Amino acid sequence: MGLEDACVHCGFCLEACPTYVVTRSEIHSPRGRITSVRLGISSEGIETCMFCRRCELACPSGVEYGKLIHNVREESPVKKALNVVMERPQLAYRFFKSSEGLNSPVVRRIHELIPRMEAPLEYREESPEIILFPGCLMSVAFRRTVNNALLFIKSRGYRVEILNGCCGLSHYSEGDKVRSNALIQQLRERFKGRRVVSLSSNCSAHMREMGLNVEDFSEFALSELRDEKRKLTITIHDPCHANLMGITKSTRKVVERLGINVVEMDEPSFECGAGGGYFIYHPEIADRVMDVKAEKVKRSGQKLVLSTNPACSLALAFKGFRPLHLADILEGIEDLNPS
Ligand code: SF4
Ligand code: SF4
Q: What is the pLDDT of residues 101-117, one digit of tens each?
A: 888 899 999 999 998 99
Distance 316 CA to ligand 2 centre (A): 29
Neighbours of 190 (CB within 10 A): 14
Distance 57 CA to ligand 2 centre (A): 10
Which domains, from first to last, does the chain contain?
3-72 (1.10.1060.10), 79-220 (no CATH), 227-335 (3.40.50)
State the pTM of this model.
0.95
pLDDT the model gives residue 335: 53
Distance 1 CA to ligand 2 centre (A): 16
* Cα 218 to Cα 200: distance, rounded to the nearest angstrom: 10
- Ligand 1 atom 8: the closest Cα is on which residue? 17
DSSP-derived secondary structure for 276-329: TTHHHH-HHHHHHHHHHHHHHHHHHT-SEEE--SHHHHHHHHHTT-EEE-HHHH
Query: Would the pLDDT of 186 be above 50?
Result: yes
Contact 82 CB / ligand 2 (< 6 Å)? no
Whether the Cβ atoms of residue 251 and residue 308 lie closer than 8 Å to each other:
yes
Which residues form the pocket of ligand 1, taking CB atoms under 6 Å from any ligand atom?
A: 16-19, 30, 33, 49-55, 65
Confidence of residue 338 (pLDDT cuts 50, 70, 90): very low
- Ligand 2 atom 4: the closest Cα is on which residue? 13
pLDDT the model gives residue 101: 83
* pLDDT, mean of residues 272-295: 96
pLDDT the model gives residue 249: 97
Confidence of residue 339 (pLDDT cuts 50, 70, 90): very low
For 38-95, how does the pLDDT look when each residue is reduced to its tens digit (9 = 90+)?
A: 999 999 999 999 999 999 999 999 999 999 999 999 988 999 999 999 999 999 999 9
For 5-26, how does the pLDDT look when each residue is reduced to its tens digit (9 = 90+)?
A: 899 999 999 999 999 999 999 9
Query: Would the pLDDT of 332 be above 90?
Result: no
Q: In what order do the strands lie in the sheet with 215-216?
A: 160-162, 130-133, 195-198, 215-216
Query: Would the pLDDT of 337 be above 80?
Result: no
Testing ligand 1's pocket by substitution, the residue of 48, 55, 240 carrying the most ligand atoms inside 8 A of its CB is 55
